[in-house]
Chain A
Amino acid sequence: LAKTTQPISMDSYEGQEVNITCSHNNIATNDYITWYQQFPSQGPRFIIQGYKTKVTNEVASLFIPADRKSSTLSLPRVSLSDTAVYYCLVGDPGYSSASKIIFGSGTRLSIRP
């Protein structure tokens, strides 16, 4: 099973770019990398998913090096509302994929004015 390692917490300021790195040394060939965001008292919310190189959407960018043993979630110009826990997951989509998906403890991001 591909386990992920993330920093427990990070602090930043409004308007800054924040990069959260996740290590997944045992990632398998068919695994995708997915990031979720969770606010207090809410369920996690999908942010971005990728397999290799770079993926960008309206919320974030995801950078994946060629060896795929790590990935970096990049949040441009953060605001106070980006304060949340961010989870990095690796998993192989499919009917029996759930047992291969591990959420881990996530990174608690705190944004200050």
Chain B
Amino acid sequence: DVKVTQSSRYLVKRTGEKVFLECVQDMDHENMFWYRQDPGLGLRLIYFSYDVKMKEKGDIPEGYSVSREKKERFSLILESASTNQTSMYLCASSLVRGGQETQYFGPGTRLLVL
């Protein structure tokens, strides 16, 4: 089974703090993603990466950055946390096979910024 793990299930941070969210996948997937999920808004893509050291902006990259130094690890960084970044953060990796793509999600990190 594919396993995607996230460093924390719950985090509480203060406004202005630098926050690191870590994601690790164990299936040698090329693609990795960070989403945030808010009530009524579904999942929105923040950033994704299709290879080591490669990254592309998703729909809502403002206020975030990412790092992918190793294939299995994709980090989301909040440079200076703000209250509007309180959300559920979901990491995913994907396998592309036979022209089809399947995303595998981690359990999520619920971040509260005070």
Contact = CB atoms under 8 A, between A and B. Distances in A.
B71 to A, nearest CB: 14
Contacts of B42: 87, 103-106
Interface string B81-100: 00000000011101010011
B43 A87 contact: yes
B19 to A, nearest CB: 19
Contact of B100 (A32, A44, A105): A32
Contacts of A93: 96, 99-101
Given A44-B43, A101-B45, A106-B42, A96 B56 contact: yes
B44 interface: yes
Contacts of A105: 40-42
Contacts of B64: none
Contact of A46 (B45, B91, B103): B103
B33 A49 contact: no
A38 to B, nearest CB: 8
| Chain B interface main SS type | strand
Contacts of A113: none
A42 B107 contact: yes
A95 B108 CA distance: 24
Contact of B90 (A43, A94, A95, A97): A43
Given A32-B100, A91-B101, A104-B42, A99 B58 contact: yes
28 contacts: A32-B100, A34-B101, A34-B102, A41-B107, A42-B105, A42-B107, A43-B4, A43-B90, A43-B91, A43-B108, A46-B102, A46-B103, A49-B102, A93-B100, A93-B101, A94-B96, A94-B101, A95-B51, A96-B50, A96-B56, A97-B31, A98-B31, A99-B45, A99-B58, A99-B59, A103-B42, A104-B42, A105-B42
Interface of A: 32, 34, 36, 41-46, 49, 87, 91, 93-99, 101, 103-106
Given A34-B102, A42-B105, A93-B101, 8 more contacts: A42-B108, A44-B90, A95-B30, A95-B31, A96-B50, A97-B101, A98-B33, A99-B56
